[in-house]
Amino acid sequence: MKFSDSFLDEIRGRLPVSQVVSRRVPLKRAGREWKGLSPFNREKTPSFTVNDQKGFYHCFSSGKHGDIFTFLMETEGLSFPEAVERLAGEAGLPLPKPDPQYERVAKERLSLLDALEAAAKLFEEALQSAAGREALTYAEGRGLARETLQEFRIGHAPSSRDALKSALIKQGFTEVQLLDAGLLIKPDDGRPTYDRFRNRLTIPILDAKSRVVAFGARALDPQAEPKYLNSPETRLFDKGSTVFNFARARGPAFDRGELIVVEGYMDVIALHQVGFANVAATLGTAFTERQMEILWQLAPEPVICFDGDRAGEAAAARAIDRMLPALREGHSFRFAFLPQGQDPDDLVRSAGPAAFAACVGGARPLIDILWLREKQAARLDTPERRAAFEARLETLLGQITNARVRDHYRREIKNRLFALWREQPRPRQGERAPRVKPRTPAPREKLPPPSVYGFAAIVTLALVNHPWLLDHFAEEVASVEVRDKPLASLLAAVTSAIFEDDLITRERLVARLSEGRHGALFERLMRESPYARVAFLQPETPSDQVEAQFADVIYRWRALPTLNKELAESADQLADMSEAEFERFAALQQQVASVGQHHEADDAGERDANKRFAETVARLKAEHLKRGRRPEKRH
């Protein structure tokens, strides 16, 4: 129903905002305004203000703002028409009369509601009769107390084909009304209509005003199919827009700031009985956008509780794909998985309410479940598979329609990818053929491996002056190891700062690092290190040159540990090498020297070590030549 602006203004004029708000939030006068603790966040210092002259409230801690209608919608989960209806009653204003067409439709709806209410009463009476003894025994066997049966108005549909039909027609309802209400089935072959629910435990499904709009029914015959049967969709009942137990859960969910969503109405009833009043269910349907909006009326991050089996995992995976497009600021979902093979009813009865509460308390955010699902979808042991993993994630994130949420998801995924690539095992070298132990090993000097400090410094400076490089080389940067702990910490600070702000500039990054705990090392690296003068590191260098040279640095950096290992293994056998092996060793030494000299060492000690290394190799080579003979080849 639509309301005119003048009618809404009349309500606002009769009800000051402070009067409506003070029923939920204790307010104190502060000049022309009122102040109190936020009803949306837990806080110790009041940040919630009310201004009667301007007709609004504002919460500085949550950013929420509105009038008396939005306050009821935000704090009690009412729809706009419900909020208007309640406040109009408080203001002493009758609701405007709808047009004749609306009155006719409303009257028809009321007649259907009357029929469903009458059916619910007949089912309740049947459960307490002799004919309902089997159904009552089943319900009590499920652990449901008499008080719970009464509160949820659980009943019994007799086995007869027309018991309900006959009883309701006697009360004055027509066959057409019962068909429209979903209580009867009309066969296509022209046979008489018959009762939809037969020999089943019935559970009324209520709307937001606690009116019966449909039924769920559990078969009592183990062979009956389907085990659970819902009313068909009618003018009153849209399965995709209905949340079971919404009306009962609304208050408790607001009071606790948490809503638990389970898969079926029997789970809801069992949990409600042991103290979880903030529980709802989606009637077994896939999550629809409308259902998500309804759930968000009760809590900003409902906990979706799935059974602990493959079906539960599959349901969570499907739910994620439907949720991503609907996400918005401050509104998402968390996921809780029960122990293997158990549903909420099983867990509560076997381990008690505390076990279920622990599962809910350990609920994980949507992004965790999304990440795990995609990470476990395929192995990540080759570049192609890792690229496919990144592509899948990017496609999924593209489904998030809210730009701000999408940007934060992308930033979080970048962080996780960077951490994941750092955890990937280094590639192992192929096994070498076994070498014969030398008969008379010659004494030799320890040959220190070339340092990688210089490469790490270059990469750090490159990312500072060109933050965009990390988008192109995240996996490569994550895969190399920096042994110098202060420099490793500085590089981690650089990558974190870039990931946290997609639009970060060189100037902001330099300012942030200079003021942080890495300031001294960063300043020394930027001003005193010879790498600060390398051409491609300068901010003004064209991006294509920067990218090409940075790729070369990364390649050399990643190759150096492998070359060092091979060189050390060769040096161990230097005294007993064949001619071919000695030539290979000399070539390998030149290759290592080439890599090490590509960017000169950062201190005199490293330069001296490299110099001694080269001198040692030259001396050993000269000794080979001085002997005047070639070593025999080993077979």
**High-pLDDT (> 90) share of the chain, %:** 40
Name the DSSP class of 15: S
- Report residue 429's pLDDT band, with 50, 70 and 90 as the boundaries: very low
Q: Considering the chain, what is the average pLDDT of its residues? A: 81
**pLDDT of the residue at 447:** 29
**502 CB-contact burial (10 Å; exposed 0-12 / middle 13-18 / buried 19+):** middle
Q: Is residue 324 over pLDDT 60?
A: yes
Class of domain 453-626: mainly alpha
- Report residue 185's pLDDT band, with 50, 70 and 90 as the boundaries: very high
- Report residue 527's pLDDT band, with 50, 70 and 90 as the boundaries: confident
- Angle made by CA atoms 204, 210, 211, in degrees to the nearest 5: 65
- What is the 3-state secondary structure of 529-580? CHHHHCHHHCCCCCHHHHHHHHHHHHHHHHHHHHHHHHHHHHHHCHHHCCHH
- The CA distance from 369 to 316, in Å, is 8
- Report residue 458's pLDDT band, with 50, 70 and 90 as the boundaries: confident
- The CA distance from 62 to 566, in Å, is 60
Contact 213, 200 (CB under 8 A): no
User: Tokens for 528?
Assistant: 């005193």
Q: Is residue 134 over pLDDT 70?
A: yes
Spans of all domains in the chain: 5-91, 104-236, 241-375, 453-626
Name the DSSP class of 401: -
What residue type is assigned to position 431 of the chain?
E
**pLDDT of the residue at 600:** 40
**pLDDT of the residue at 332:** 96
- Which one has a higher pLDDT value, 462 or 151? 151
Distance of CA 612 to the CA centre of its chain: 56
What residue type is assigned to position 122 of the chain?
L
SS3 of 192, please? coil
Where is 101: in which H helix or E strand? helix 100-127
**Spatial CA neighbour of 20 closest among 60, 63, 62, 56:** 56
- Which one has a higher pLDDT value, 302 or 345? 302
pLDDT (mean) for 431-447: 38
**pLDDT of the residue at 449:** 34
- The CA distance from 451 to 525, in Å, is 17
Measured over the CA atoms of residue 397, residue 398, residue 401 and residue 402, the dihedral's sign is: positive
**Spatial CA neighbour of 319 closest among 328, 330, 338, 306:** 306
In our burial notation (b when 16+ CB lie closer than 10 A, e otherwise), range 47-77 reads bbbbbbeebbbbbeebebebbbbbbbbbbbb
- Report residue 459's pLDDT band, with 50, 70 and 90 as the boundaries: confident
- Report residue 451's pLDDT band, with 50, 70 and 90 as the boundaries: very low
**pLDDT of the residue at 267:** 92
- The CA distance from 593 to 363, in Å, is 54
Strand partners, 200: 157, 219
- Count of beta carbons in the 10 Å neighbourhood of residue 232: 14
Instruction: Give the range with max mean pLDDT: 181-185, 264-268, 493-497, 556-560.
Output: 181-185
| CATH code for residues 241-375 | 3.40.1360.10
SS3 of 635, please? coil
- Report residue 596's pLDDT band, with 50, 70 and 90 as the boundaries: very low
Q: Which is the CATH superfamily of the domain at 104-236?
A: DNA primase, catalytic core, N-terminal domain (3.90.980.10)
What residue type is assigned to position 379 of the chain?
R
**pLDDT of the residue at 102:** 58
Q: Is residue 435 over pLDDT 60?
A: no
Question: In Å, what is the CA distance from 435 to each residue of 206, 319, 621?
Answer: 81, 58, 20
Among 242-256, 418-432, 453-467, 494-508, the minimum mean pLDDT is found in 418-432
Q: Is residue 564 over pLDDT 70?
A: no
**pLDDT of the residue at 440:** 40
Q: Is residue 605 over pLDDT 50?
A: no
Contact 73, 81 (CB under 8 A): no
Where is 214: in which H helix or E strand? strand 212-219
Which residue reads 């210092």 in tokens? 45
Q: Is residue 520 over pLDDT 60?
A: yes
pLDDT per residue as tens digits for the range 356-395: 999 999 999 999 999 999 998 888 988 899 999 999 999 9
- Angle made by CA atoms 605, 610, 611, in degrees to the nearest 5: 95
SS3 of 485, please? helix
Name the DSSP class of 517: T
- Report residue 437's pLDDT band, with 50, 70 and 90 as the boundaries: very low
Decide: pTM greater than 0.75.
no
- Count of beta carbons in the 10 Å neighbourhood of residue 598: 16
> Under CATH, which architecture does the 5-91 domain have?
Alpha-Beta Complex (3.90)
- The CA distance from 629 to 632, in Å, is 9
pLDDT per residue as tens digits for the range 72-87: 988 888 888 889 999 9
DSSP result, 16-54: -HHHHHTTTS--EEETTEEEE--SSS--SS--EEEETTT
For residue 470, how many C-alpha atoms fall within 13 Å in the half-sphere facing its CB? 30
Cis peptide before 226 (omega within 30 of 0): yes
Question: Residues 378, 380, 385, 388: what is their CA dihedral angle, to the nearest 10 degrees?
Answer: 70
pLDDT per residue as tens digits for the range 230-286: 999 999 999 999 999 999 998 899 888 899 999 889 999 999 999 999 999 988 667
pLDDT per residue as tens digits for the range 6-45: 789 889 888 999 999 999 999 998 888 899 999 888 888 8
- The CA distance from 360 to 102, in Å, is 44
Q: How many residues does this entry show for the chain?
A: 635
